Structure 1
Amino acid sequence: MNEALAGIAPGNGETVVVGLSGGVDSSVSALLLKQAGYRVVGLFMKNWEDDDTDEYCSTRQDLIDAAAVADVIGIDLEVVNFSAEYKDRVFASFLREYQAGRTPNPDVLCNAEIKFAAFLDHAMQLGATRIATGHYAQVREFEGRFQLMKGEDGTKDQSYFLHRLNQAQLSRTLFPVGHLYKRDVRRIAADAGLANAAKKDSTGICFVGERPFREFLQRYLPVTPGEIRDLDSERVLGQHDGLMYHTIGQRKGLRIGGLKGMADDAGEHDAWYAARKDMEKNVLYVVRGHDHPALLSGRLVAADLSWVSGALPHTHWVYAAKTRYRQPDAPCSIDAVDADRCEIVFAEPQWAVTPGQSVVVYESKVCLGGGIIVSAGD
C-alpha cells in the first residue's frame, strides 16, 4: 500500500470537496484522496476583491495553478466567490481590532468563518459528505468526540490556526497531508507531474498577502500620529504614525535607533522594543533590551473562548500553550475558566504576549482550543 495513503481512510466513492488554493499542499491532498477512492471535486475560493489587480495579488496565478492541477489529477474544479462573506465575517473584525489597538490574527477567524463554514456549507450543497484542505493537522475520533491533533511535521503544524473548529466542522473535515512531512508532500507532487511541486508557500495575511502593510491599513483606518516614550523614564524618543502599526515586542520600524546618550551597553541590549500602548493618550511606550521585565508575562486573560470538544478544560491541570504561531509549547495551567473567559498561568514568563492574538492550549498533541488574549501581566 502507498505509505502516503496510510493516514487516509478508504473513500469507497464518497464525495469530498477539496479547497484547492493553487499551492502544493492542497494539490497533493486532492491527489491522495482520489487515489484513496474518493470522488473528488476541487473548489477554488476567491475571498478578496479590493485591489486584486495590483502587483501584490496572486489570485489569478493561483487559479491558473489550481486549474492545471485539477487537469492533471482528473477532477472537476469550481470557482466560488466568498469575498462578501469575508468582508462581513473577517475583515470587519480585523479593522475593529486594529482600531482598538490590538493585533488580530485574521487567519484564525478566516478558518472558522470561511474555510470551514461558508466553504463547508457550499460543499454540502454540492452533495459532498466531507471537505478537505491542505492544512498540516489531523483529526482523531476518541470516545465519541473528534479531536484536533497537531500535524506530524512539527515545523509545519497548523493546528494553532484551526483551534476554533467545532465538533460539527471536524466531523466533516479531512486533512490528507496532516500525517506527512512537507518534503514528502513536494516529492509526491513532483512524482505525479504537478507543476506546482516546487511552488513557494504563500506568506502574509490571508487577504493582504505580501503588500506593504502600512499602506494597506491607511486605506481603511485614519492615521493618528503620537509620541513614542521610554516606559522607564517617560522621556519622549520620537513620533509614531499610528498605534495600529505597532505590536508588542516589535523591534524594527520604530525609527528611534541610535539615539545618543540612551545606550549603556553594546549589542542586543541597546535595541528598543514596543512594550505598551496607551490608547487614551495615543502613546507608544518602548523599553530597551529584549529581556526587559515589561516584555515578560507570567499570566494572561483570554476571552471569546472556543473549545474543540465543546466542554471547558479542567483547571489546575498541566497543559501547554502558544501565544503566537511559531512559539514553542509553554507549560501552563488554567487557573480560572468559565464560558466567557479564562486565566492562564505559565510556568515561566512568556515574551511579548500580545492582546488581540490567540492563545491556544494543548494537551500533548491534542489541540483543546483557546481564545483571544485580552490582557497579560506578572
Structure 2
Amino acid sequence: MKKRVILGMSGGVDSSVSALLLKKEGYEVIGIFMKNWDEKDEYGVCTATEDSDDARRVAYQLGIPYYTVNFEKEYWDKVFTYFLDEYKKGRTPNPDVMCNQEIKFNAFLDYSLKLKCDYIAMGHYAQVEERNGSYYLLRGGDKNKDQSYFLSRIGQKALSRTIFPIGHLEKKQVRELAQKYGLYTAKKKDSTGICFIGERNFDEFLDKFLLTKEGDIMDVEGNKIGRHSGLTHYTLGQRKGIGIGGIKTGEPWFVAGKDLKRNILYVAQGENNPALYSTSLIAESPKWILEKPPKMPLICTAKFRYRQSDIPVTVNILEDGNLHIKYDNPIKAVTPGQVAVLYQEEVCLGGSIIKSIVPLHEKYLYLNPN
C-alpha cells in the first residue's frame, strides 16, 4: 500500500518539483495550499489567489488531488500578532521562523494527521536524517538556498513526519527538472519578502497596524542631528532610509540603537564604528531540535540572520533559562527580535530569539535600554 504524503503547495517551483519527485518515488500525494492571509495588493489583486491557481495547475498536470485549507485565524493569532508585538518592543522579528513553528509544522501537521497521512512534505532546502530513533535537521544541499535557519524551532514530532523532497538538490537542478517535465511554474520567479506584505511599502504597512510617533535622531555622542518618522521603521545596522545624509565626515550613517521610552533613534557614522558592534547576546525562548539542550558550555557556530556566514560562539544556559551566546570576535549589527540559530557543522541544533546584546564597550549600554 502506498504511503500517503500531504504536500504544502505554495504555487512556486520548489513545491511543484517536490510534488513531481514524490509522485515519481511512488507516494500517494495530496497537494494542499495553505491560505494564511487575505488582503488585496494595491491593484486589487489577492496574490494568494494567483499562487493557489498556479499550484492547482501543477496538481492537475501531475494528476494529484489538490485542496485549499484556510489557516488565516491561526496565522493571525500565532504569527501576525507576534510580529506586531515584537515591533512594539522595538525589535525586528522574523515571522517566517514563527510561521514554520506555528503553522506549517504545527497546525498544518495536525490537520494532515487527521487525514491519516504518513508524512507531510514541504519544498524547503533542508534535510532530515534519522539517527538511533532521533531526527536531525541538516542544512540543505544548496548552501546558497539552505533554509534550515527558518526551520530551527521545529521539534521531533514534526521532523519524524516530514520529507523535504528537494532538500538535497541545488536550485538550478530544481529549475531544470521543472522545465524537463514542463511544469507550469518552471519559470515563475521566487517570492520574496513576508507573505502578508508582499511588494507593498513596508513602512506604510506597519503604520496601518502600529501607532508611530516622530522623534529625535541623535548620534552616539549625544548630538541631535535630525528627526525620525517612528522607531518601528528602523532596525539595528540599517543604512538606507535614515534620511540624514552625509553629515560631518561624509561617511554613511547606521542605526546603532533605539530608546523606546524617550523615542530616540541613535545613529553612528562609519562602517566600523565601535557603537555598532557587540561581543555577546542574551537569547530567550530556546527551542532545541532534539527537544533537550546539549551539554554546556556548547562550542558551536551560529547565524543571527539568514544568509549570514557561520560565527564561532560559546553558549551557556543562564538560571532563567535564557541563553548567553558569546562570539569569538565582535560582530556588527546583531539585532534583537531576530533568531540566533546554532549549528554543529551540517546539523542545526535549534533557535532562540535574540533579546538583547552586550555592546563592545560599556559606554554604549544606553543605546538599547529596552
TM-score by length of structure 2 reads 0.94
Structure 2 equivalent of residue 238 of structure 1: 226
Structure 2 equivalent of residue 193 of structure 1: 182
C-alpha distance in 2 between matches for 1:206 and 1:140:
29
Find the residue that maps to 2:298 and give its secondary structure: coil
Tell me the number of residue pairs that the alignment of Structure 1 and Structure 2 aligns.
359
Letter in 2 for 1:300: L
Structure 1 equivalent of residue 323 of structure 2: 342
CA-CA distance at 1:326 after TM superposition? 1.4
Which residue of 31, 39, 42 maps to 2:28? Answer: 39
Contact 1:56/1:211 (8 A) holds in 2? no
CA-CA distance at 1:64 after TM superposition? 1.4
Which stretch of structure 1 is more off in the superposition, 23-32 or 119-128? 119-128
Contact 1:315/1:337 (8 A) holds in 2? no
**Structure 1's 338 and 371: CA in aligned 2 closer, same or farther, altered over 3 A?**
farther
C-alpha distance in 2 between matches for 1:314 and 1:275:
34
Contact 1:305/1:339 (8 A) holds in 2? no
Which residue of 327, 330, 334 maps to 1:353? Answer: 334
CA-CA distance at 1:54 after TM superposition? 4.1
Runs of 4+ with deviation above 6 angstroms: none
C-alpha distance in 1 between matches for 2:6 and 2:323:
36
Which residue of 237, 242, 246 maps to 1:258? Answer: 246
Letter in 1 for 2:72: S
Structure 2 equivalent of residue 373 of structure 1: 354
TM-score by length of structure 1 reads 0.92
CA-CA distance at 1:311 after TM superposition? 1.0
C-alpha distance in 2 between matches for 1:337 and 1:130:
37
Find out whether 1:324 has 2:305 as its counterpart: yes
Q: How does 1:1-378 map to 2 (within 5 A)?
A: 13-51=2-40, 54=43, 57-232=46-221, 234-259=222-247, 262-263=248-249, 270-337=251-318, 340-377=321-358, 378=360
C-alpha distance in 2 between matches for 1:76 and 1:144:
32
| RMSD, aligned CA | 1.4
Any gaps of 5 or more consecutive residues in structure 2? 361-370
C-alpha distance in 1 between matches for 2:289 and 2:304:
17
Contact 1:17/1:130 (8 A) holds in 2? yes
**Structure 1's 349 and 158: CA in aligned 2 closer, same or farther, altered over 3 A?**
same
Find the residue that maps to 1:219 and give its secondary structure: helix
C-alpha distance in 2 between matches for 1:187 and 1:277:
46
Letter in 2 for 1:323: F
Tell me the alpha carbon deviations over residues 155-207 of structure 1, each in whole angstroms, 9 at most, x when there is no partner.
00000000000000100111000000000000001111102112111001132
Tell me the alpha carbon deviations over residues 17-63 of structure 1, each in whole angstroms, 9 at most, x when there is no partner.
00010000001111100100100000011100134674574212111
**Structure 1's 252 and 55: CA in aligned 2 closer, same or farther, altered over 3 A?**
farther
CA-CA distance at 1:143 after TM superposition? 2.3
CA-CA distance at 1:226 after TM superposition? 0.6
Structure 2 equivalent of residue 4 of structure 1: none
C-alpha distance in 1 between matches for 2:94 and 2:167:
22
Letter in 2 for 1:17: I
Letter in 2 for 1:29: S
C-alpha distance in 1 between matches for 2:137 and 2:206:
33
Structure 1 equivalent of residue 363 of structure 2: none
C-alpha distance in 2 between matches for 1:59 and 1:300:
37
Contact 1:56/1:209 (8 A) holds in 2? no
